[in-house]
Structure 1
Amino acid sequence: MITVVGTGTGAPLPPEAAAALDGAGLVVGARRHLAAAAPPDTAARIVLGPLAPALDAIERHLEKAAKGGREGDAAAAGRGQVVVLASGDPGFFGIVRALAERFGAGRLTVHPAVSSVATAFARAGLTWDDAVVVSAHGRDLRTAVNVCRAHPKVAVLTGPGSGPAELGAALARSGDRVLVVASALGSDAGAASGERVERVTPAEAAVRDWGRAVNVVLCLDEPRVLSPVRTVAGAAPGPSRWALAEDEFTHRDSMITKFEVRALALARLGPRLGDHVWDIGAGSGSVAVECARFGAAVTAVEKTGDGVERVRANAAAHGVDVSVVHGAAPAVLSGLPDPDAVFVGGGGRDLPAVVTACARRARRSVVVAMAALDRVPAVREALVAAGLDCGGVLLQSSRLAPLPGDVTRLAATNPVFLLWGVRPPVRSDVRSDEGVAQ
């Protein structure tokens, strides 16, 4: 049997966990957890570093104990109990997943403590049923950054190279965000290296050396951290409807992506939580707003000043965050973080160059809407040249429209070409020239 004990937030071990520790033949944990728990001298100890060697050692220990039981060696069998010490709630982004995959959930007894996320929000005086929790520990920080840009209440589990400084640097342009950095949670607050909970701006976080004691960083849009009562925890549910009618946006002279076009564009863009989407030539920002409603972080690029204000007004009206860049593509794109998906609207002379710049940097897809037939070959060539698989349609729709006498006609909308390029998946079965398995 493997007993997993959550610790590290200041609370004493529950009696069952303490009893398991006293009878353990092997105790595994970080150096600080082993020092705090003080396992019995009769127990073997493994300081947790790389996970794979620790799992192998646990397996050897269990096999040795099982062999002793079969051979009637009661002492060896009695030493078969394994205790794994972990931080907070080990079932929340913790070691329980790896142990269950290796040994089976039925062999685990888990004693969770209060998680670092719950503790950090408690220190901040906030509920967290409406928070989005994202791990940057051993993972690419960009997902955490995108979630922080899109949502008002986010907890980021940090790690080496993905700490408060790196997060702050990536969010430095998000002037409306506050970071709450929680370090050494559960330690004596009066000690020199004790618990610290500090509120800083992203820019302030970026220039600090935070050391190795950071547990979690909360990223808050403070005017929006108090949400209504929730039924489902975590990120807000996705929108109940999309491809909104044009009259749900402020726009100029019908210069807006029509809802039929927008519906297919959204299907090809696939905006989702953790993504970053560009809306180039945003105009009213209808595509940008719809992508943000699906949970993506969105950057809208618009070259006209009045267009910039319309995008901001539409984002505010729909309660979403959209970062608006005033300028013309492709010149302004170099300073933007790489996107997962890009929507390009309009059709000026620079369209092929804009599509080329977007296609080179998009991780997943580029979608282009245009009314001019003459632009289609060059756009398709730009998508294919960037290594994307290209498809497209000509959308021609007719809407029901009333006529006098309580009758209905079909009113045709202007036809629009929609082209898209999708980056092919990377093959995972390719081996190196030396024949080493990947």
Structure 2
Amino acid sequence: MSDRPITVVGTGTGAPLPPDAAAAVAGAGLVVGGRRHLAAAPVAADAEQVVLGALAPALDIIERHLDEERHPDRRSPVVVLASGDPGFFGIVRVLAERFGAERLDVRAGVSSVAAAFARVGLPWDDAVVVSAHGRELRTAVNVCRARPKVAVLTGPGAGPAELGAALGSDARVLVVASALGSKDERVERVTPAEAAARDWGSSVSVVLCLDEARTLGAARTVAGPPAGPAGWALDEGDFAHRDSMITKFEVRALALSRLGPRLGDLVWDVGAGSGSVAVECARFGAAVTAVEKTLDGVGRIRANAMAHGVDVRVVHGAAPTVLSGLDDPDAVFVGGGGRELPAVVTACARRARRTVVVAMAALDRVPAVRAALTDAGLDCDGVLLQSSRLAPLPGDVTRLAATNPVFLLWGVRPPARREGATK
């Protein structure tokens, strides 16, 4: 028997099987694949065929064919047919885990992602690819909100309609590619609202979510999402702000370390002011919603997001009332103060999946905020930040200029309780 007894053949995006792959199918004693793949492949009349449904039974049958000691009469090659590139969010991972990568001979086809971008004439070395097949849709939604070029691999309950409904009024175009490579192939451009209003059936191959103003992007050296920012805790001068009403960079540095913003997350910046925390979280790849009650603040947040080349959704309204219409966040930053602060922190802490960070100047607010975090089941910790910056004096000398002290409290949902967080 060959050292690589399982041949995995990628097919289904229009291109015919190469001669060597077709020969492998024709000589196989067992061929496993989807119904349409089996129907289109040159399977020998005496070969056993298994239509892929649940993976476990198919893997057991493959193992039986490969077991020489108990079944010496079944020393025949096995071929697994899969869509596109089976090593790209495909069956190669499962087969390698069960039988070992060294026993697989993979013949990759064109992935549905590559085919979809080819259909619309766009490069995709700078695209982010996210799978919603058998996974939570929220991660795909947050990536689509944060990045200008995203390919979403869909699945039952996580198709174009559900993606469009979740994106709502976001300024994106969805390219829905269905039945790629078949005579029924369709590639349609729709708005999120149009996608949400349709029944797309089960033939969708992939959905591209595009910010059309930025689809070409720049030439890349490394494929995929851009690298994280080279620096963070940016200087206050890098943001438009009113009368120094901005979270200072020392506070932002610690807040960012506790928020842990990352691609696929949703972060709220509540009482955003200039939006400095929102912008920094977006630079790390998170989807961000900034909540601000003043109209001039809303304008500054949008201007700062544009200046730093990131997407920040800005909601004009007062917390906690306006929070009820927002999707549940992974992490929340709460800035500012006021009598409503404990109620705002309570509302955020009840819905945050991972952590809430609160910055405040007044000592009197600390006990109530700490109680709001702990009462919501979060483990609370905090510090008083006092820093002094170098400042020049006449005569080419330097002094230390103290900044106003700030209390930073954070609450973290214990891992055992994250399972029960709102999804």
With the shorter chain as reference, the TM-score category is over 0.9
| Structure 1 residues 320-331: aligned runs within 5 Å | 320-331=310-321
Partner SS for 2:155: coil
Deviation string 1:255-284 (CA, Å, 9 cap, x unpaired) is 000000000000000000000000000000
Amino acid at match of 2:149: K
| Structure 1 residues 116-265: aligned runs within 5 Å | 116-174=112-170, 176-188=171-183, 194-265=184-255
Determine if the alignment matches structure 1 residue 387 to structure 2 residue 391: no
Q: Tell me the CA shift for residue 328 of structure 1.
A: 0.4
Structure 1, unpaired ranges of 5+: 70-74, 189-193, 430-438
Cα separation, 2, equivalents of 1:62 and 1:354: 61
Moved more, 106-115 or 37-46: 37-46
Cα separation, 2, equivalents of 1:50 and 1:357: 42
Residue 6 of structure 1 aligns with which residue? 10
Partner SS for 1:426: helix
Amino acid at match of 1:24: A
Q: Tell me the CA shift for residue 29 of structure 1.
A: 0.5
Determine if the alignment matches structure 1 residue 59 to structure 2 residue 63: yes
Cα separation, 2, equivalents of 1:18 and 1:212: 27
Amino acid at match of 1:144: A
Q: Tell me the CA shift for residue 305 of structure 1.
A: 0.3
Amino acid at match of 1:124: V
Percent identity between the two aligned chains: 80
TM-score (norm 2): 0.97
Amino acid at match of 2:55: L
Residue 20 of structure 2 aligns with which residue? 16
The correspondence for 2:46, drawn from 42, 47, 53, is: 42
Residue 435 of structure 1 aligns with which residue? none
The correspondence for 1:314, drawn from 304, 328, 348, is: 304
Cα separation, 2, equivalents of 1:311 and 1:359: 24
Cα separation, 2, equivalents of 1:354 and 1:67: 66
Q: 1:276 to 1:227 in 2, by over 3 A?
A: same
Number of equivalences: 415
Structure 2, unpaired ranges of 5+: none
Partner SS for 2:416: coil
The correspondence for 1:417, drawn from 407, 417, 421, is: 407
Partner SS for 1:394: strand
| 2:66–2:74 contact (8 Å) kept in structure 1 | no
Cα separation, 1, equivalents of 2:416 and 2:121: 45
Cα separation, 2, equivalents of 1:232 and 1:400: 38
Deviation string 1:57-116 (CA, Å, 9 cap, x unpaired) is 1112211x45454xxxxx532x2x110000000000000000000000000000010000
Amino acid at match of 1:346: G
| 2:177–2:207 contact (8 Å) kept in structure 1 | yes
The correspondence for 2:395, drawn from 398, 405, 413, is: 405
Moved more, 210-219 or 37-46: 37-46
Cα separation, 1, equivalents of 2:228 and 2:69: 50
Cα separation, 1, equivalents of 2:111 and 2:123: 14
Q: Tell me the CA shift for residue 163 of structure 1.
A: 0.2
Residue 89 of structure 1 aligns with which residue? 85
Q: Tell me the CA shift for residue 414 of structure 1.
A: 0.1
Amino acid at match of 2:96: A
Cα separation, 2, equivalents of 1:424 and 1:38: 54
Cα separation, 1, equivalents of 2:343 and 2:7: 59
Residue 107 of structure 1 aligns with which residue? 103
Cα separation, 2, equivalents of 1:38 and 1:138: 31
Deviation string 1:35-56 (CA, Å, 9 cap, x unpaired) is 1114111111111011111111
Residue 33 of structure 2 aligns with which residue? 29
Q: 1:232 to 1:10 in 2, by over 3 A?
A: same
| Structure 1 residues 344-383: aligned runs within 5 Å | 344-383=334-373
| 2:141–2:167 contact (8 Å) kept in structure 1 | yes
TM-score (norm 1): 0.93
The correspondence for 1:76, drawn from 67, 74, 77, is: 74
Partner SS for 2:415: coil
Cα separation, 2, equivalents of 1:10 and 1:329: 52
Deviation string 1:282-337 (CA, Å, 9 cap, x unpaired) is 00000000000000000000000000000000000000000000000000001000
Cα separation, 2, equivalents of 1:428 and 1:360: 12
Note the aligned Cα RMSD (angstroms): 1.2
Q: Tell me the CA shift for residue 427 of structure 1.
A: 7.7
Cα separation, 1, equivalents of 2:226 and 2:125: 10
Cα separation, 2, equivalents of 1:140 and 1:200: 23
Partner SS for 1:267: helix
Moved more, 23-32 or 239-248: 23-32
